[in-house]
Amino acid sequence: QQPVQSPQAVILREGEDAVINCSSSKALYSVHWYRQKHGEAPVFLMILLKGGEQKGHEKISASFNEKKQQSSLYLTASQLSYSGTYFCGTEIGGTSYGKLTFGQGTILTVHP
Amino acid sequence: NAGVTQTPKFRILKIGQSMTLQCTQDMNHNYMYWYRQDPGMGLKLIYYSVGAGITDKGEVPNGYNVSRSTTEDFPLRLELAAPSQTSVYFCASKGAGNQPQHFGDGTRLSIL
């Protein structure tokens, strides 16, 4: 079943923060976050494994709450380059051959 | 390294025609995937492969076929093109373990 992302869209000014959530009704093994700019391929951001691990990449970090089966992506001090559509991809079970089920996406727009 | 290469980048087909979308990777990855992405939507898994000679269906396999004769190549075939297959098709590959999927640039396919 497809994970649910929220919000569907968010508009920011440069320097503002945002949180994007990804929720699943199934027990997850991992959550993958990607960013896609219009007309381009998805670009990998980070992987979260079950265990509540939090990862960071410059001003973008993420967490995975195993009890809630929810992952959150945190974008701090947003830059114009952060604009795009953010997708979470969820993997169920460590033997699922890396198959991901993607959410519907969250459109992030950063204005000067 | 070229990564994941998809050809063609664009194609227009007539209803009932057939074609093969090519995907090749030079990272010696065992796992390869085909997704379709409809406008404003997330990616849906069509077929995947865990190694040469091994393929399996994903979420939306109807109307498509795949083969995996080598580690590098994973072509996707449309036998009788239908308007519902108008979409952007992405190929991805990944290595063993908890690794990210690497995406090609996509093939934009229109069926008229």
Percent of chain A scoring above 70 in pLDDT? 94
Contacts of A44 in chain B (CB under 8 A): 100-102
Scanning A55-74 for CB atoms below 8 A from B yields: none
pLDDT at B102 over 80: yes
B92 close to B32: Cβ distance less than 8 angstroms: yes
Residue A92 vs residues A29, B99, B107: alpha-carbon distances, Å: 5, 15, 28
A52 has pLDDT over 80: no
Mutate to test the interface with B, among A44, A91, A92, A96 (most CBs of B within 10 A): A44
Measured from the Cβ of residue B11, the count of other Cβ atoms closer than 10 Å reads 17
Chain A neighbours among B 43-62 (CB < 8 Å)?
43-45, 48, 50, 56, 58-59
Q: Is B41 on the interface with A (CB under 8 A)?
A: yes
Binning chain A into helix, strand and coil, the percentages to the nearest 5 are 5, 55, 45
- Nearest 10 degrees: Cα torsion B58, B59, B60, B66: 0
Check the CA dihedral B21-B104-A111-A107 and report its sign.
positive
Residue type at A22?
C
CA nearest B29: which of B66, B70, B76, B72? B72
> B103: which chain A residues are within 8 Å (Cβ-Cβ)?
41-43
Asked whether residue A53 carries a pLDDT value surpassing 70, the answer given is no
Coil, helix or strand for A82? Answer: helix
Candidates B37, B88, B107: best to mutate against A (most CBs of A within 10 A) is B37
What residues does each domain of chain B span?
4-94
Residues of B in contact with A32 (CB under 8 A): 100-101
pLDDT at position B104 is 97
B97 touches chain A (CB under 8 A): no
Q: Is the pLDDT of residue B20 over 70?
A: yes
Over residues A42-56, the mean pLDDT reads 81
Q: What is the CATH class of A4-111?
A: mainly beta
pLDDT above 70 for A54: no
Across the interface, do B59 and A101 touch by the CB < 8 Å criterion?
yes
**Quick check: B111 pLDDT over 80?**
yes
B50 or A57: which leads in pLDDT: B50
Q: Where along chain A do its domains lie?
A: 4-111
Structure tokens at A61: 């970090």
CATH number of B4-94: 2.60.40.10
The model's pLDDT over A61-94, given as tens digits with 9 standing for 90+, comes to 999 988 899 999 999 999 999 999 999 999 987 6
* A100 touching B (Cβ < 8 Å): yes
Residue B110: per-residue pLDDT = 97
Span A39-51, mean pLDDT?
A: 90
Condensed to tens digits (0 to 9), the pLDDT of residues B33-90 reads: 999 999 889 999 999 999 999 999 999 999 999 999 999 999 999 989 999 999 999 9
